[in-house]
Amino acid sequence: MSIVLGAIADDFTGATDLANNLVRAGMRTLQVIGVPQTALALDDVDAVVVALKSRSCPVREAIDDSLAALAWLQAQGARQIFFKYCSTFDSTDAGNIGPVADALLERLGGIQTVMVPAFPVNARTVYQGHLFVGDRLLNDSGMQHHPLNPMTDADLVRVLSRQTPHDVGLLAKSTLAEGTEATRSRLDALHDQGVRHVICDTLDEDDLKVIAAAVAEFPLVTGGSGLGQALPAEYRRLGWLHPVADPGRLAAASGAALVLSGSCSRATLGQVEDFLSRHEGFALDPLALAESDEQIEQALTFARERLFDEESSAPVLIYASAAPEKVKAAQQRLGAARAGELVERALAGLARTLVTEGVGRLVVAGGETSGAVVSALEVTELRIGEQVDPGVPWTQTSIEGREAPLSLALKSGNFGGVDFFSRAFDALSEERGS
């Protein structure tokens, strides 16, 4: 059986965000890290999201990686390709959104595509082609200071025009308000005028539905994860996708429960404090890690004594998360890059050892930290389950040497409610019991 949707995401957490929305909208979804090198079993999969690292890399590399992902997804029979980028349209004047979209469209033999970055539930909207974050224009939202992709212009028609030699047009809210037929006619008219890329206004979920209905049969769509919420209903209407009772169903979870936290964001600090009021934890300190591996050994002993106790299945936490003053002090002594590296290396090594020894349910906090853990565990694919909190689903993956799948929840810094760490495991136990 062929997959319905093949997505190419320009970063890892963005891929998970889209995959999560697809599951919630009724598609059984697999996230793969990089282009798969081996054949995958896709019998019970409706959508595959390929996570690349193509947001800020050189344009040529972004194009090559995206075309390799496209070739693989086409070989799996994908009926539609979705190029996923950030809802704040993170890119520079050189790319990579325009050049990648052009390359994909050309390879697919398509004539037109849409750009739909908006994610209204997260307050990312587009009006008259201008991107808003909450009530601020993009260039006044903090994104103008982004270290890699500073966004200093909120007019997406203008932004994209600097990234592509082709004409860029606008599908305005006034047309969307007239419904799907009017939207289709407008897209056709734009095409007749030679417009290849269409920036779409989007104020709310209804606009997303109208856009999805108009573009479900396009070979290529592009946008943020909001569009991923609306497309599956259209695939069902077209008869491409059959209703699935439980698209986020995972195998039974098993094994000891561990939280590793390398995020120092405000939300994570609250989650660490909340967890420590209920369960036990072990703090890592980059200054001690810089001296020797002794603290890693201590953390291992701490975890082993508690995790592999037959009597108890309580989760434990190992964390480097610390308040800003403490982080700053460590960074002043070691340099920010070295402090971060020491923590990431320690947490990634602990993950590898403890998963080998019997951890089967693992929560990781921090985007960079998650990247380090996933590569230490040599994870190449993640089956997406139910979300614990918005944007953070449980996932499952197979690990060499482990018979049962590993359940993994990867939380980027600011996501999740205050009791996320303990609630995540409750959600999983319930799933196991059902």
The footprint of ligand ADP (CB under 6 A) covers 262-265, 268, 286, 320-322, 326-327, 330-331, 339-340, 343-344, 366-369, 412-413
Q: What angle do CA 119, 385, 282 make, to 5 degrees?
A: 95
Beta carbons within 8 Å of 237's beta carbon, 6+ residues apart: 213, 216
Judged by beta carbon, residue 313 or residue 414, the one nearer ligand ADP is 414
Distance of closest approach, residue 331 Cβ to ligand ADP, in angstroms: 6
Distance of closest approach, residue 360 Cβ to ligand ADP, in angstroms: 23
Distance of closest approach, residue 173 Cβ to ligand ADP, in angstroms: 34
CB burial readout 67-106, b (16+ within 10 A) else e: bebbebbeebebbbbbbbbbbbbbbbeebbbbbbbbbbbe
Residue nearest to ligand ADP (CB): 413
Distance of closest approach, residue 318 Cβ to ligand ADP, in angstroms: 11
Alpha-carbon gap, residue 19 to 22, rounded angstroms: 5
Instruction: Confirm if 351 and 373 have CB atoms less than 8 A apart.
Output: yes
Judged by beta carbon, residue 170 or residue 346, the one nearer ligand ADP is 346
Judged by beta carbon, residue 242 or residue 333, the one nearer ligand ADP is 333
Instruction: Confirm if 124 and 87 have CB atoms less than 8 A apart.
Output: yes
Q: Which of 12, 21, 7 is nearest to 393 (CA)?
A: 21
Distance of closest approach, residue 309 Cβ to ligand ADP, in angstroms: 28
Distance of closest approach, residue 421 Cβ to ligand ADP, in angstroms: 14
Alpha-carbon gap, residue 152 to 334, rounded angstroms: 33
Distance of closest approach, residue 321 Cβ to ligand ADP, in angstroms: 6
| Cβ count near 21 (within 10 Å) | 27
Judged by beta carbon, residue 221 or residue 424, the one nearer ligand ADP is 424
How far is residue 419 from each of residues 268, 283, 367, 392, 424, measured CA to CA in Å? Answer: 10, 19, 19, 14, 8
Judged by beta carbon, residue 189 or residue 418, the one nearer ligand ADP is 418
Q: Please name every residue paired with 256 in a beta bridge, in sequence order, or none if there are none.
A: 359
Judged by beta carbon, residue 247 or residue 413, the one nearer ligand ADP is 413
Judged by beta carbon, residue 13 or residue 202, the one nearer ligand ADP is 13
Residue 142 φ then ψ, to 5°: 105, -25
Distance of closest approach, residue 270 Cβ to ligand ADP, in angstroms: 12
Judged by beta carbon, residue 129 or residue 413, the one nearer ligand ADP is 413
Distance of closest approach, residue 359 Cβ to ligand ADP, in angstroms: 19
Instruction: Confirm if 132 and 154 have CB atoms less than 8 A apart.
Output: yes
Instruction: Confirm if 285 and 330 have CB atoms less than 8 A apart.
Output: yes
Give the count of alpha carbons within 13 A of 124, CB side only.
21
Judged by beta carbon, residue 7 or residue 269, the one nearer ligand ADP is 269
- Residue found by looking up tokens 């953390």 in the block: 299
